[in-house]
Structure 1
């Protein structure tokens, strides 16, 4: 029982760490919209270096606005709580987020409510259901650009999630397979620190369902090493995990 408790505590610690890890890896986008849970949008935006927090009411939006200090906020006029335009006015008084008003295609009543949001401080309009590419286009032109958060660097290695590219000593290498790209990003986020096997499994395959063993991770590491060349190494720290080292 004690061992089970320790394993559960360890797993909870890993999940909490990964939650902070994902949030710290990208810019913050707050979506205040009662229509959906945002899972698909969050997954799509993660590849662009953006962490999505989705809430269903403006009152929850105020809480998350204070917690995450988002670069941008998407607000649906239909969100319950305080009126959406009042919510926009409040957050504009306590920061300079880029505010996007949400509208449904063909919804004339909803379109009429977008005007007050624009007057309250919204700068753009996005149509629901949200298209990740359209949102990204809006966000990259915001005064507080999000694009820089999709880029990670350590030593001679630079990864750009928006362009799905990796450069070593300034030269772009051949596109990495998805798992190796995510492996490199996980290592870059922690560099020069160590990422454990459990953390890599959760980062690459999620926390639910069947996950591969250490041999599969080692296989991906071996392939990644060969693609990066000699300028940087993926070191195995026995009993702990992996880390990036640069010459």
Structure 2
């Protein structure tokens, strides 16, 4: 799915509502990580690069808008949607003043939630162009054309970078060699035989997983390769 590399953090203390949000955003293709309070969210943000936070206002421990104010003071500029039963004008002003980008009142329709998430991600540019893709230990910076594995840079040729990018856009999908030729080699792909595709994949595998610990690449007999 086109949204599978966009990560959304949801902070909601009511477990049934959290599960509902996770289900509908997951159905839309987003990667969702849920928290029942603000505890551990800051640590998660230090390690990951989510594109959006959906936060309830009434949370145990630190109130949602205060937590977002705190994140803004730390320098995080991740878009935030507040999800709340607080519907007074003063509450609305307070939420936006704290650094919120949108507001959804409870009870809400899942469809409205998805539409607002899509709209905010479009406005922030995430749905048009992703700057980074993360999967397991791999992080691809699509602007700088740099791959890091657990934070350490790994040198790839342009072709290897395109090849890995293609696989990371299609996790767990069997990709044919013809598809890879079109995506990676383009117009020159007609001159690339199956063996050349295999060799390129093996070279890439030896650079990103030399000891085969992650076992990323799986040949699919009669088709091509699966990456997971």
TM-score in terms of structure 2 length? 0.51
* Residue in structure 2 matched with residue 69 of structure 1 by the alignment: 49
Is the 8 Å Cα contact of residues 29 and 52 (structure 1) preserved in structure 2? yes
Distance 1:190 1:145 in 2: 15
Identify if the C-alpha distance between structure 1 residues 46 and 147 changes in structure 2 by more than 3 Å, giving closer, same or farther.
farther
Distance 1:92 1:98 in 2: 10
Task: Please state whether the residue corresponding to 1:101 is helix, strand or coil.
Answer: strand
* Residue in structure 2 matched with residue 141 of structure 1 by the alignment: 123
- Name stretches of at least 5 consecutive residues in structure 1 with no aligned partner: 1-21, 153-185, 205-220
Higher helix share: 1
CA deviation map 1:83-132 (0-9, x unaligned): 2222011111222111211134xx647x7544322111112113444432
Task: Please state whether the residue corresponding to 1:121 is helix, strand or coil.
Answer: coil
* Residue in structure 2 matched with residue 58 of structure 1 by the alignment: 38
Q: 1:132 aligns with which of 114, 131, 134?
A: 114
What is the Cα-based RMSD across aligned positions, in Å?
A: 4.4
* Residue in structure 1 matched with residue 79 of structure 2 by the alignment: 98
* Residue in structure 1 matched with residue 95 of structure 2 by the alignment: 117
- Name stretches of at least 5 consecutive residues in structure 2 with no aligned partner: 134-164, 184-193, 203-214
Task: Please state whether the residue corresponding to 2:31 is helix, strand or coil.
Answer: strand
Identify if the C-alpha distance between structure 1 residues 227 and 44 changes in structure 2 by more than 3 Å, giving closer, same or farther.
farther
Identify if the C-alpha distance between structure 1 residues 42 and 146 changes in structure 2 by more than 3 Å, giving closer, same or farther.
farther
How far the C-alpha of 1:229 sits from its partner, in A, is: 9.6
CA deviation map 1:2-25 (0-9, x unaligned): xxxxxxxxxxxxxxxxxxxx9x95
Alignment of 1:1-247 (within 5 A): 26-36=5-15, 38-46=18-26, 50-94=30-74, 95-104=76-85, 108=87, 113-128=91-106, 129=108, 130=110, 131-142=113-124, 144-149=125-130, 188-189=167-168, 200=172, 225=176, 228=179, 231=182, 241-242=218-219
Identify if the C-alpha distance between structure 1 residues 58 and 112 changes in structure 2 by more than 3 Å, giving closer, same or farther.
farther
TM-score in terms of structure 1 length? 0.48
